Amino acid sequence: MADIKDMLQWLLNEVNIWITKGIITPEQRDRILKLYKVQAQNSIKPAAQKAAVKHTGRINLARVILVLAVVCIAVGLVIFYASNWRRMPPGVKMAQVFLLILTCYGASWFLLFVKKEIFIGRLILMLAMVTFGIGIMLVAQIYHISSHPTNGLLVWAIGTLLLSAVLDEQWGYYMSLALFTIWDYWEVVEYGNAAYLFIAPLLVLALFYYRRSDRTGLVLSVSLMIIYFFQVNIHWAGAADYNNKHVTEAAFMYMLYGFGPLLMVAGRMMRFNEKLEYSGYVVTLTGWITFMVPLLTLSWPYKIPDTTPLILFPRGTWIQSGQFAAFILLSAAGIRKLSSMDVKPHIYIPFILTALILVMVPHYSTTARMISTHIAIVGLIASSLSFAYLVPGEWHIEKGMAFLLTIAMFIVKWLGLTGSAFADNGYMVAYLVGFVIFATVCFLVNRLVKHLAEGKSYPSMIMDIITAVAIWFTLYTASFKIENQVSIFKADTVVIVMLFLFITLAVILYMVLMARLKQNRTIIYLSMIVFITSGIALFIARGEVSWIAYSLIFNILLFIATGTAIYYSTVIQSRALLNVAVCAFIVHIGTRYFDLFWDMLSGSVLFITTGIIGLAGGYILDKKRRQLINTFDSAEGDHE
């Protein structure tokens, strides 16, 4: 019986394959199955269905060769007519190309409708569509038409789309999409036009792709629609009056704060539709990046010359401000819709609130802008990591993007502040310690989320490692000879305010963690040592302070950072981390040996001090370990 069952299963799969190959119709399949008293579809096992799909998707060498042959012929024809062969008069070329077009279309018609050779017919149809383009280029060549070469491409794309729509030809849709995209790129880059028309074919093609359940086509057209949005808006911002230039450019950046959440919410909604699932991923991902770009760009202390508040929708920014308002309203509506669909869209709410707050803050005030963007950065890191991991639901992409947001902010700030330290030597300590404080805040946020997500698979290790590496390298940079520092109190107000802001944030986070964590506090204490000591270095830094003081502080901190990594490797029992930490230790010792060679006194003080601290620390740790073992032993004895 089992054998007959298998045979019928085989038959069920095979008839489906025959339908896809055009050998039989669905009605004929049903008649065949009726003969064997088998119900169509219902009795197909999912695994067997997959096998059938796999079977139909097998690579057919003959078809591969045919496709490559047609590609070769198409390319050859394009190059042949482009070469403008002088032995062939223009009239002959024209007659020839018309003949070629009609022959190719005629052959494809014959193959598709008469011979029912679908595959080869479609290939020849593609070739015919290429010959139509060749015809356009040939006319332009013969008559030296150069007024606007993109027009020819547009005609070609429209012709291809029209024919593809009539025949519902998937490959033709792709060809016309490619042609429209080249046309758009050419118009925008070469001629500086906005290419407004580009949206029309994108919408039409998206509709066709949707109808055909073509996910790849939908991903491509949706991605191009997003590109279209940017190209049009960049064009509008670029075309602004000279007097409104700065405020328009600023409004464009702030508008992205509204567009980002809209894409995030729209992407989440699209993921409910099976056909739009992949497009939804692309849209969500783009939304996060769209929000990150202005946040990172506007979080640096440069001056914005225009002093018009954006919240007043100033003249010259109506397009941008109007879009911002529309995007925020649409995002809010999307969140409401998601809530009604039993999705908990908490993760998006902070983005919308942040967008609203940031647009209200006077962007031209560097201090206000810096404070607001940095609070936004920390707040969004905390909220994104928390909601992505704590809120139930399918949030795979949000989880990834929350980490990407954190890592991107972290790395950009690291590179920016380290670069500024070298560019402005007088404030080297300030910039480097500034980053250590920022990194401490990120580290503490990560620890807090780890605590809140207890029992869930929150990968806190990623941020732990990135923070550790960044802090180690920053301390390593600071451990070299630093002289002639300017007091932090002589820096711009914005710098002082920012430092106090992050110190306050770190203190609050330490307090929260201390109140919540009842065990595993060692790593928090160790980070606290780095935070407080580097903070002291920041506030004592001034011209009169010898380089030896900075050197001692940062070198000891570097030893502590390495020691922390070694300690942590024993906690998590990671031999890899231990090896990395030991390598870091060797690099540090080696650097100092050569770096301090000509100043033996400082070197000896550093090594002896570190050695004593190491001895004391090691002794305490070992004593604790022995106490712990004794406790276990006595507990086991009592138990026995």
Partner 1 sequence: MNSYKKILMPVIVLLQVAVLVFMAAKQEYILAAGEKILLKCQPVDPRSLFSGDYVILNYEITRTDLETITVKDGEKRSFDINETIYIALDKSKMDKYWKAAAASRDIDWLRSRYKTVIQGRIDQYYNIKFGLEDYFVPQNEGRELERDLDNVHVEVSVMPDGSSAISRLFLNDREVRFY
- Of 30-38, 85-93, 306-314, 566-574, the segment contacting partner 1 by CB under 8 A is 85-93
Query: Using CA atoms in the order 51, 52, 54, 56, what is the torsion angle rounded to 10 degrees?
Result: 160
- Residue 26 touching partner 1 (CB under 8 A): no
- Of 66-74, 87-95, 196-204, 371-379, the segment contacting partner 1 by CB under 8 A is 87-95
Least CB distance from residue 14 to partner 1, whole Å? 24
- Residue 500 touching partner 1 (CB under 8 A): no
- Of 144-152, 289-297, 397-405, 512-520, the segment contacting partner 1 by CB under 8 A is 144-152
Options 49, 193, 367, 574; binder of partner 1; rule CB under 8 A? 193
> Which distant-in-sequence residues (6+ apart) come within 8 Å of 73 by Cβ?
127
Helix axes 493-516, 428-452, angle to 10 degrees: 30
Q: Which residue has the tokens 């409004």?
A: 251
Least CB distance from residue 584 to partner 1, whole Å? 53
> Which distant-in-sequence residues (6+ apart) come within 8 Å of 225 by Cβ?
199, 202, 203, 206
For 400, the token pair is 């990834």
The rounded distance, in Å, linking the Cα atoms of 516 and 519 is 9
Nearer to partner 1, 155 or 353 (CB): 155
Nearer to partner 1, 86 or 639 (CB): 86
Nearer to partner 1, 28 or 570 (CB): 28
Helix axes 547-571, 575-595, angle to 10 degrees: 160
What is the maximum alpha-carbon separation in the chain?
Answer: 108
Nearer to partner 1, 90 or 459 (CB): 90
- Residue 85 touching partner 1 (CB under 8 A): yes
Nearer to partner 1, 168 or 633 (CB): 168
Options 52, 136, 343, 377; binder of partner 1; rule CB under 8 A? 136
The rounded distance, in Å, linking the Cα atoms of 624 and 629 is 9
- Residue 139 touching partner 1 (CB under 8 A): yes
- Residue 238 touching partner 1 (CB under 8 A): no
Q: Which residue has the tokens 């710098």?
A: 495
Options 142, 330, 391, 512; binder of partner 1; rule CB under 8 A? 142
Options 98, 196, 318, 619; binder of partner 1; rule CB under 8 A? 98
Inter-CA distances, 482 with 95, 358, 553, 554, Å: 80, 37, 12, 10
Question: Do residues 259 and 323 lie in contact, with contact meaning Cβ atoms separated by under 8 Å?
Answer: yes
- Residue 197 touching partner 1 (CB under 8 A): no
The rounded distance, in Å, linking the Cα atoms of 590 and 593 is 5
The rounded distance, in Å, linking the Cα atoms of 446 and 459 is 9
Give the start-end residues of each E strand in 172-315: none
- Residue 298 touching partner 1 (CB under 8 A): no
- Residue 539 touching partner 1 (CB under 8 A): no
Residue count, binding to partner 1 (CB under 8 A): 44
HSE value, Cβ hemisphere, 13 Å, CA-based, for 274: 3
Nearer to partner 1, 167 or 494 (CB): 167
Least CB distance from residue 145 to partner 1, whole Å? 6
- Residue 113 touching partner 1 (CB under 8 A): yes
Own/partner long-range contacts of 335-338 (Cβ < 8 Å, ≥24 apart) = 335/265, 337/269, 338/265, 338/268, 338/269
Nearer to partner 1, 191 or 619 (CB): 191
- Residue 109 touching partner 1 (CB under 8 A): yes
Least CB distance from residue 316 to partner 1, whole Å? 18
> Which distant-in-sequence residues (6+ apart) come within 8 Å of 633 by Cβ?
none
Least CB distance from residue 23 to partner 1, whole Å? 16
DSSP 531-586: HHHHHHHHHH-STTS-HHHHHHHHHHHHHHHHHHHHHHHHHTT-HHHHHHHHHHHH
Options 33, 135, 180, 287; binder of partner 1; rule CB under 8 A? 135
Inter-CA distances, 429 with 233, 264, 313, 518, 534, Å: 41, 39, 41, 34, 9
Nearer to partner 1, 137 or 436 (CB): 137
Options 44, 48, 67, 155; binder of partner 1; rule CB under 8 A? 155
Nearer to partner 1, 81 or 531 (CB): 81
Options 26, 34, 64, 90; binder of partner 1; rule CB under 8 A? 90
Least CB distance from residue 221 to partner 1, whole Å? 22
- Residue 105 touching partner 1 (CB under 8 A): yes
Nearer to partner 1, 87 or 518 (CB): 87
Options 112, 126, 405, 442; binder of partner 1; rule CB under 8 A? 112
Binding site for partner 1 (CB under 8 A): 81-86, 88-90, 94, 97-98, 101-102, 105, 109, 112-113, 116, 128, 132, 135-137, 139-148, 155, 159, 162-163, 166-168, 191-193
